[in-house]
Structure 1
Amino acid sequence: MRREEYAGPVALRAMQSLASRVFPQAGWRHSGDLAWAAASAVSAPDATPTAVWSTGDTTVAWGWLESPEELTIQVDPAYPDLAGEVLAWAQRATDAARLSVTIGAHETHLTSALAAHGFVQGNDKPFFACLSRPLTDLPPLYTLPEGYRIRPQRDAADVIERAAVHRAVWNSPHITAERHAAMREVWPYRSEFDLVAFSPEGKAVAYCQGWYDEVSGVGLFEPVGTAAEHRRRGLSRAVGAALLHAFAAAGGGLATVSPRGDAGYLIPKLVYESLGFQTMSRTRTYTKAFRRSGTPAGN
């Protein structure tokens, strides 16, 4: 067994290779979700260390401190004892007063290690619903309002438009055209799954970015959005249905998405359910407070 440590998600492909092998049976982060998280991260790499465990050329576990207080973890169920090693590494690698770990409720091979290391499940945070649907018996391609059209990104002008609508939807000023263009170079991005809805005036007003992992045959929706002034016109559902058909045409067998599942923000989940997605799991967050010098545990 070998462990390698990095400043930032340098070994992203190694991390993704584990997701390709075991998702969604283990883990709730698709390889495309990891690509999106790495490409959209705002923290400096030395503030977001990673560690990867491998046997031979096969990745069997990894941990990523996406922030000093937030650990993302994935462990091959065939190597459950590595969960404790990942947690021990993360606790050494952060100087935060507390550390949170979010896992899928179905990842029972991680819960005993979390308890053994003093992590406590919380109920006070929003959670994500893990939805999926087979890529058979798909919904129809919906008729758009007059003048609207859906197509994949094609050129630099589309990149600028796509980044702009993302900023408008999510108030994310760090998603610039340059950052979005760089993300397009990260596996498993393919432009035919990055669908954009354009208004009659030719402005990008909605999008559904898809990530298709040809290793697992699983496609992911992430991210998805519609500009406020163009909502309630069926655009989110229409672009989502178009992406399902694109995944199926590529040979995919399953589509997944992880919207908020709590009552605070249910509309996206309802849209996905209208496209045939069903809940397969949900996330649970575990937190541990540390006694750091000058900081009492629990503060």
Structure 2
Amino acid sequence: SSYNADIWECIASFLDAADLAHLALTARFFVPIAMDERLWKALSLKRLKIGSEAAKFRPHFSWRELYRSAFVTGSHSYSIHEREKHRDWMRIGAFTLVSGKALAAGRLWQRISKSKKMKLDESSALCVVPNVLPGIWIADLHRMRCGGCNLPACTGRMQTLDFRNWELFLHEEFQNRTWSFKEIGVRNIRENCDAAAGAVFDYKRLIDKDTANSGILNFKSWTAKNGNYQPTSRVSPFGAAGCTNLEKNGGLQVKFYAMHAGVDGPVVAIRVSQQLF
């Protein structure tokens, strides 16, 4: 028997991964259908809730493997490495980086602009990251045990926003820790901070129609009200941000990290960590 892959690609928009697995178990005829890469591509883009720009990228791994690494196994970076530091997490969402240049932000309430006069000094809590691998990126927000704390009951005084190319988990160099994060910047905010907030944007798509329509730069529209300490987040086609309100404090230390695919390779992951002084 034969089947029409185009028809099943359309049907896949109404199915999830479990449906495909059940379909394959009903009859041998459906096994090749359930393995069809076009179906897994449709499922992946649907689950990622990402725009049409992402469909243009050709991954180095199969869509089925990528789906599994993002949603079935691993889930987030700290489920693979450094589990002892991890307390809790939430998925922010997915976006695309297309220009090869990213802007990482450690504060959201100040004006972010693509102007040539953009300040990248200590007070700005901004960091430009060049040579970034284009493609689909996934963003997560994590609550971490602080570096100087060994208390088992620690609820976490450090927040890390983790942004990664979604192919990262499938690379052997990541799994065996050949690739690792290197610190690329530190910003000390020595004043009370109402929130620990951060983001990564495609630098060249920061100020455009898609970003504006997403509302991600209208911070007051999606961040939590005063007194609400649950983290909130927002994604746009070309960026993602997360924010957690804080009680009165003495300021934050913001650190930026990048992971390169080899010595001269592109950046495949970015982290923005924030710890209370």
* Larger proportion of helix: 1
Q: TM-score, normalised by structure 1?
A: 0.24
Where relative contact order (Cα < 8 A, 6+ residues apart) is larger, the structure is 1
Q: TM-score, normalised by structure 2?
A: 0.26
